[in-house]
Amino acid sequence: MFEVNVAPFVATTAMQSNLCPALPSTVDRHSRETGYMNHTATAADTQCINTIRTLAMDAVQKANSGHPGTPMGLAPVGYTLWSRFLRYHPEHPDWPNRDRFVLSVGHASMLLYSLLHLAGVVEIDAHGKRSGEPAVSLDDIKQFRQMSSKTPGHPEYRMTTGVETTTGPLGQGCANSVGMAMAERWLAKRFNRDGQVLFDYDVYTLCGDGDMMEGISSEAASMAGHLRLDNLCWIYDNNTISIEGHTELAFSEDVIKRFQAYGWHTVHVTDANDLQALSVALQTFKANTGAPTLIVVDSVIGYGSPHKHNTAAAHGEPLGEDEIRLTKAAYGWPQDASFLVPDEARATLRDALVERAEPLFAEWNQTLASLDPQRADELQRMRAGEMPEQWQADLPNFAADAKGVASRASGGEVLNAFAQHIPWLLGGSADLSPSTKTNLTFDGAGRFSADDYSGRNLHFGIREHAMGAIANGMALSYLRPYTSTFLVFSDYMKPPIRLAAIMELPVIFVFTHDSIGVGEDGPTHQPIEHLTQLRATPGLLTLRPGDANETLELWKVALAQTHRPSCVVLSRQPLPTLDRSRYASAAGAAKGAYVLAGADKPEVILIATGSEVSLAVAAYEQLTGEGIAAQVVSMPSWELFEDQDQAYRDSVLPPSVKARVVVEQAGPLGWDRYVGQAGAKVVMNSFGASAPLAKLQEKFGFTLENVVGLAKQQIQHNRPE
């Protein structure tokens, strides 16, 4: 890989009255070879850039909250990209082949809101239709960071048209963009045929020092370089300021050399205000092949403020009225004007975008109209979040088997059955597919790689954090991704899981090795608190099937989601496959909890999930044999159960039956809601241990004798006196 150093054509970082200086009459040899034509900055360019800067100052000041400095410093970068390069139609912001712009530095949200406003982007409503209203109006900007506004503190997907992904937690947007770039490569292989091009978009990501410090960005960058994603461009705002002060306090590496080691092309622009240098750098990206591109841009945070590296600008505070007046004066802007948007500024950016995108959009629609019916139907369903008509055909059926099968194994069989009918279902593991059983093994599944982007088996390497965020990026690009690793390593994936829930993305996170059933691997690999953490996440489905047939039913539930991510939690150890002629149909799992078997008027209810269901069933059988009216409930999903109406919930857990026992090899938190304060809990109140499974079950009370004994105690304690 190589570095291109785009030196500033005007050597300055000091404040200038002309923030976009005139450019020289010639450009260097590299610029000519890449086809870049000299472009002299105009008064209109300067006006647009200063509009972005002053809107950021005014919005943050009015809200008395926010980050004005980064939008001020990056205004020339955002404007240059949008006005000269971004393929984006303001009237069709949902165009599938648009370039993606990801603001990984989500605290600089006013930069994105200002660009969307100046571009005249049209709102797409909740039904996917153009409303005719602006995506971001001037009134929306005036409501920055206020309740129910379309301009929240950090950009939020689904809330504001034009926001490609929810950003804020640093590094997440970077990794999302890798997923978007991977998705484009897969979509191009799937849909571009015989000279017809439906997908060839680029992904641009604006990132900062914080992104570069977060480990997830390193994971994502390493994978992007390995996959040679030359449709991906990260623009790194090298302003050398973080909240605690100068980045030299904690950050001294050579970022350019780091990315070259990852296999990226690198370009260095030493003045963020030099529009021609920025344009040369972006044209270099467009010309590069075989690797993603990092453009390092040296900027001054809060550019134009009389106080260099203004403390408020750097630390996310309003500049203050006096500072704003002085800064506007430095821009040649009316000092007393607030939220001033000249008509010419709106026209300049919008016209540039439309002029570039309109012929491409028209050509794209012509290509779409000429698609064969199969591809046209696939694309329509992918965009709508729908499954193919026959997606549940040819599913396996698991016969009763006392020895049983691990739910990771039955889950792999089920996944392969579904995937053969859902071409855009793809995924992989964090280097664990032989253990998680998530390889797609049917003919044609293939392996996604730099040599073949059509494959559906993804190899994320040992990069759990990036894996989750990359999957989110793919879900934002019409695909249905799944990931897999051990449940204990969901710790490494909490941020992207949480963001998938916030964004309502139907990503499927598969977690195996779900309990102390891991055995000899010991406490470091035995999940305890993890189910509680997942269940505590709003909008997330946690699905823990009790046997192979429940696994099938819960995969159906996960795949049927359109606005909700799912965690499918599976066992390593074999689980008996229940005889459904004796016990209730596994279809009840789709309601979150159901009565497997038992008396109409039970004296005691046994509740279990996952690998502990078979133990609860065994206890039920013994109690029944002793003449005790017991009932056993499988509860694979709290969230699905809570979605049911009160009548159904009461039919499964009758309020009159106070004697209850829960059995789950996980922490106790939350089970009081189902068993009551006085209910018995056979759960984990400590970390596990390294030993064979049978010894662990005996040590921690997961035995038939203990469960039966606690059930009898519950009956005794709850008998009327």
Q: What is the pLDDT of residue 13?
A: 28
What are the structural domains of the chain?
43-364 (3.40.50.970), 401-576 (3.40.50.970), 589-718 (3.40.50.920)
Query: How do residues 141-194 score in pLDDT, each as one tens digit?
Result: 999 999 999 999 999 999 999 999 999 999 999 999 999 999 999 999 999 988
Asked if residue 189 lies in contact with residue 197, where contact means CB atoms within 8 angstroms, the answer is no
Element at 643 (helix H, strand E): none
Q: Tell me whether residue 513 is annotated as binding.
A: yes
Q: What span, in angstroms and rounded, lies between the C-alpha atoms of 26 and 37?
A: 9
Residue 15, pLDDT above cutoff 90: no
Residue 436, pLDDT above cutoff 50: yes
Q: Tell me whether residue 239 is annotated as binding.
A: yes
Q: Please, what is the angle between helix 109-119 and helix 43-63, to 10°? A: 130
Asked if residue 507 lies in contact with residue 562, where contact means CB atoms within 8 angstroms, the answer is no
A 10 A CB-CB count for 500 gives 29
Q: Tell me whether residue 241 is annotated as binding.
A: yes
Residue 574, pLDDT above cutoff 50: yes
The bridge status of strand 604-608 relative to strand 630-634 is parallel
Mean predicted lDDT score pLDDT of the chain: 92
Question: What is the mean pLDDT of the segment spanning 34-52?
Answer: 77
Query: How do residues 517-551 score in pLDDT, each as one tens digit?
Result: 998 999 999 999 999 999 999 999 999 999 999 99
Q: What is the pLDDT of residue 301?
A: 82
Q: What is the pLDDT of residue 303?
A: 78
- Supply 126's token pair: 């909740």
**Best CA proximity match to 467, nearest among 498, 504, 429:** 429
Q: Tell me whether residue 265 is annotated as binding.
A: no
Q: What span, in angstroms and rounded, lies between the C-alpha atoms of 229 and 235?
A: 15
Q: What span, in angstroms and rounded, lies between the C-alpha atoms of 407 and 549?
A: 9
**Which residue reads 């800067």 in tokens?**
53
Active-site position among 164, 214, 464, 603: 464
Q: What is the pLDDT of residue 40?
A: 62
Query: How do residues 251-294 score in pLDDT, each as one tens digit?
Result: 889 999 999 999 999 999 999 999 999 999 999 999 999 999 99
Q: Determine whether 164 is an active site residue.
A: no
Q: What is the pLDDT of residue 315?
A: 55
Question: What is the mean pLDDT of the segment spanning 205-214?
Answer: 96
Q: What is the DSSP string of 303-363?
A: TT-SSTT-HHHHHT----HHHHHHHHHHHT--TT--S---HHHHHHHHHHHHHHHHHHHHH
Reduce the DSSP state of residue 236 to 3 states and report it: strand
Question: What is the mean pLDDT of the segment spanning 416-420?
Answer: 98
Across 34-136, where does the E strand assignment appear? 100-103, 122-124, 130-134
Q: Tell me whether residue 572 is annotated as binding.
A: yes
Torsion of CA 447, 452, 453, 457, to 10 degrees: 0
Kindly list the distances between the CA atom of residue 114 and the CA atoms of 51, 55, 108, 275, in Å, as whole numbers in the listed order. Answer: 8, 7, 11, 18
Residue 308, pLDDT above cutoff 90: no
Residue 106, pLDDT above cutoff 50: yes
For 67, phi then psi, to 5°, come to -120, 100
Q: Tell me whether residue 408 is annotated as binding.
A: yes
**Best CA proximity match to 167, nearest among 153, 156, 181, 152:** 156
Q: What span, in angstroms and rounded, lies between the C-alpha atoms of 438 and 102?
A: 30
Q: Tell me whether residue 67 is annotated as binding.
A: yes
The bridge status of strand 265-269 relative to strand 541-543 is unpaired
Residue 36, pLDDT above cutoff 70: no
Residue 20, pLDDT above cutoff 70: no
User: How far does CA 628 lie from the centroid of its chain?
Assistant: 49
Q: Residue 485: how many CA atoms within 13 Å on its side-chain side?
A: 22
Q: What is the model's pTM?
A: 0.94
Q: What span, in angstroms and rounded, lies between the C-alpha atoms of 95 and 379?
A: 12
User: How far does CA 599 lie from the centroid of its chain?
Assistant: 45
